[in-house]
Chains A and B, each alone.
Chain A
């Protein structure tokens, strides 16, 4: 998959041409008329979602929740519209443009109470750490992060980060501490 939302130009990747701006509904499929409003009924596009959990962190009413099913090696993303207040924070937080907002239509926010829409559940396969074997992120998220790093050509730090995306942050810390230990071991004893 390729990143769909352009990143804000920063001092490292200054404004090189990126993939076009978050398209409204065209790529998202499923035919819903997604609008770029501040508020509205959330619409989730599984194809773009990487299960980074930014929406779950942004959701104040816990309508969007994340569960980890370790037996199956799956991350479960759930959206329950019963709890949703159409505040639109999930769409604002989404880094890939997977969360969109659907225009209110007739009745606006009042209509959702009568809308017997079942909760949506999405499953994402989890990635095991190459070093310790524990689950640390979803496959899609790791691939998305890798594809972002691949765009940083000629950046040695990004290349090193790219080589390490298969390892969980806990193990990276451990490796860094061990490397520091080896360096200290080389030091002359007084």
Chain B
């Protein structure tokens, strides 16, 4: 089943075409990768899905429902969560409060405070931050801040999680931990759509990959197809 579908998506910033007629879909339960050179429009596409930018034209359907034009908080409540390329945490609040907020506000049904607290502590453990609940978010290491952002997104009980460069700036050890975490998230039944520059990680974890270049989709397929695609090789190696 397709959990998310984009049809004829166009986004112009004034005279600049950031996304040109892109069609895509994500199957429920898969890990879909999005790659492309800097400025290809990857983050713009995420911003369009999560509602932080409005489309110039096109339609986005989430679980069969047209979500074009909805606000980020409405989209989040319907079950789509995201992280940011540059981590956006509530820096002067504690790790636990960061997650708690996601749990308290992220769902349509609402939740009792005691359940939210319990859930948040579980998520803390799930992402590997147990024992850090009382630390201010800004005092965490970069890797831990990224995990916290994932935990906060997961607290909103998403069915689809958008990860924007979750592994950028991590050490090789941290990258392999991050890959483990993404697989664990998938095993929970959450569909993952991720932007990544760390190619090795991307190839090992994705079920399918989409390649964007200058706002256009130039390739789509399983990792093996992508690595042998001449167009992709050309953009990445400039041959």
Query: Is the A/B pair a real complex?
Result: no
- Residue numbers of B with Cβ under 8 A of A are none
Binding site for B on A (CB under 8 A): none
